[in-house]
Structure 1
Amino acid sequence: MLSRTSILVPADDLLPGIRVFLADETHYPSGSHKEPAAHAIVARAIAEGHDRVVVGSCGSYGRAMATACAAANLRCTVVLPADWGDGGAFAAATGADVHFVPGGYEDAVEESHLLARAKGAMDGNVDGPYKDVILEGHGHVVDALHRELGPAPASLWIPVGNGTTLVAAYRRLRALRWPVALHGVGSPGNNPIVTSWPGPYRVLPRDAVVTTEHNEPLVNWHALHGPDALTAIDGSGGAAHAVDDDELLAAQALLARYGVRPTAAGSAAVAGLMAQARRGSVRGNQIVLLSGR
């Protein structure tokens, strides 16, 4: 398993009277907090004799998987929506094969399932047969935070796309018996976890979501771990929050003061915390996950 390289940055001056910790998960080679999960998939692929991993991505998971595969000399195929993100440049530079599909993230994942079967490759998608391996990889951040901060109650703010990190965090929190409220932060009207909260999970119409250069990783019409993410939020005593692009950019600029430089979407958790603080209802220790650069 990849050694943890995140940096816990105290930011007690962010909100007067509140202890705030920035969990900077952007320092992996791929710049993505998803890299430990990608390395977990690669380790399983090697153990099972696979020579290729196939994933669908809107960008960050593809970069993470391409990086992990290159480090282990495994072949990698990344399927991306056409015209999203960096156009596959990062993944291609690692030696990965990059395929493009029309549509959005969900279409890329569906095509990657088909490619994995056609190539006899490992399907490394978050909704694929190795979902539990991915969740275990994502959960390592909670163990590291617990070691650093101890068992005191806290709130953990997480950018939300598919809800995978929320589900993984909730599993580890329950195993550790650590009383932490999970707060998922997404794009308003563009993520079914956010729009469903606090009710039952409902997908969005495909044509209802609006993707921008700033909110891309936070947008989907069907969150692949949506129902379980809502259960995680509710079971932990947290909530789902929406922040727009202006709030993402403001949070990104604010974080530069602390020497951390995630993308606008990777700054979503800070944007959510600041929005909640403006409503005057933040108490106790706050941990904020910065998820990509």
Structure 2
Amino acid sequence: MTTAGLVLGPADLRAAADRIASHVLRTPLLPGPPTTADGTRLLLKAEHLQTGGSFKTRGAANAVLALGADRVVTGSSGNHGIALARLARTLGIRLTVVLAAGAAPAKAAAIRALGAETVGVGGGVAEREEHARALALETDAAFIPSSDHPLVVAGQGTAGTEILTDAPETETVYVPTGGGGLLAGICLAATHHPVRVVGVEPAATPRYARSLAACRPVRLPPSTTVADGLRGQYPGAVPYPIIRDRVDDLIAVGDAEILAAAALLRRYGIDAEPSGAVAVAGALRAGRRERAVAVVSGGNTAARLRTLTSTRTERLDRTDGHLTRAAR
């Protein structure tokens, strides 16, 4: 089992893929919008179709299954908590999710609807993580953060492995970047591939761009952005060196660009939440003539969350994926 003291590599992604195979979907690459005037089209890694509505299920499943804990504490902006809550309900695990001020109420309600306990704290993501770590110690629970854990990073990286297997000619992958777990995982997947890896951050929270410019992790103050899942204040200890050593570029996009990208995706039949549209916004801003893939990282929109919280627990698997049935 991978631990925090070991260096992650492609073998960890292969182990994660085997471990989580029966708990996640292999999401498709879908045709997306043009990114240049001559009609160069983007491919979309459809993680909005993933079990639990986001890529977070990959890392959550890898960590939960590898650790084998019967009690888990996490901090989450929403999607990681939803992913863990689904797993906890399936596996009989007691889960507590710590939410910072400003967390989306609909996502908090979805977490509770899946049977997990939520705890609210003041401040931003940094305060949330500190409280969650302390609570895990107090209750003798496993702490599974949303990105800063080797098992989580390895699980998220399986999305990158799928991209490069299904479209090996890809020249650039655009990756939404918050805590950095997905970006680090895709950097690992690209270890022996010439693909460019580009992280896309909300302009309000460019923690990786500023950290790489400063040659050290930089902590930012709490901020607001429509991309509520990407409000991390500082790079994670696990993702940072992986990203530092492999990422090719970082792009910042504003809220107006993110919302425009989400609206464009809807015209292509893809209902992405704002965080899920960030990579597309980055690809549109770059405007390069290239064979590119953007990760649509989440689809837990307000409408989808209303369905989740209003559906009886015993019907969730029929409306929101196959995880529980497959696991049982």
Q: Does TM, normalized by the shorter one, top 0.5?
A: yes
1:136 paired with 2:171, answer no
Q: Residue 159 of structure 1 contacts residue 269 of structure 1 at CA under 8 Å; is this kept in 2?
A: yes
Instruction: Show the counterpart of 1:287.
Output: 293
Instruction: Show the counterpart of 1:149.
Output: 167
Cα shift readout 1:4-62 (whole Å, capped 9, x = no counterpart): 2422102264543524211110112321211011111221232xxx2111111111211
Instruction: Show the counterpart of 1:221.
Output: 233
Cα shift readout 1:209-260 (whole Å, capped 9, x = no counterpart): 4314x1322223212256325414xx34x21111111101100000012211
Instruction: Show the counterpart of 2:178.
Output: 161
Q: Secondary structure at the match of 1:221?
A: coil
Cα shift readout 1:42-83 (whole Å, capped 9, x = no counterpart): 21232xxx2111111111211111112112221111000134
Instruction: Show the counterpart of 2:223.
Output: 210
The alignment of Structure 1 onto Structure 2 pairs a total of residues equal to: 275
Instruction: Show the counterpart of 1:187.
Output: 202
1:171 paired with 2:193, answer no
Cα offset for 1:121? 1.1
Cα offset for 1:143? 1.7
Question: How far apart, in 2, do the equivalents of 1:146 and 1:57 lie?
Answer: 29
Q: Which has the higher helix share?
A: 2
Identity of aligned residues (%): 27
Instruction: Show the counterpart of 1:118.
Output: 138
Q: Secondary structure at the match of 1:240?
A: strand
Q: Paired residue for 2:216, among 201, 204, 209? A: 201
Query: Normalising by structure 2, what TM-score?
Result: 0.78
Query: Measured at CA, do residues 51 and 196 of structure 1 come closer, stay the same or move farther in structure 2, by a change above 3 Å?
Result: closer
Q: Which runs of 4 or more aligned residues in structure 1 lie more than 4 Å from their structure 2 counterparts after TM superposition? A: none
Query: Measured at CA, do residues 186 and 4 of structure 1 come closer, stay the same or move farther in structure 2, by a change above 3 Å?
Result: same
Question: How far apart, in 2, do the equivalents of 1:183 and 1:72 lie?
Answer: 36
Query: Normalising by structure 1, what TM-score?
Result: 0.87
Q: Structure 2 matches for 1:233-244, cutoff 5 A?
A: 235-236=246-247, 238-244=248-254
**Amino acid across the alignment from 2:244:** T
**Amino acid across the alignment from 2:208:** I
Which protein has greater RCO, CA pairs closer than 8 Å, 6+ apart?
Answer: 2
Question: How far apart, in 1, do the equivalents of 2:27 and 2:189 lie?
Answer: 18
Which segments of 5 or more consecutive residues in structure 2 lack a partner in the other structure? 1-19, 300-328
Question: How far apart, in 1, do the equivalents of 2:55 and 2:147 lie?
Answer: 18
Computed over aligned residues only, the root mean square deviation of the Cα atoms, in angstroms, reads: 2.0
Cα offset for 1:283? 3.0
Which segments of 5 or more consecutive residues in structure 1 lack a partner in the other structure? none
1:76 paired with 2:88, answer no
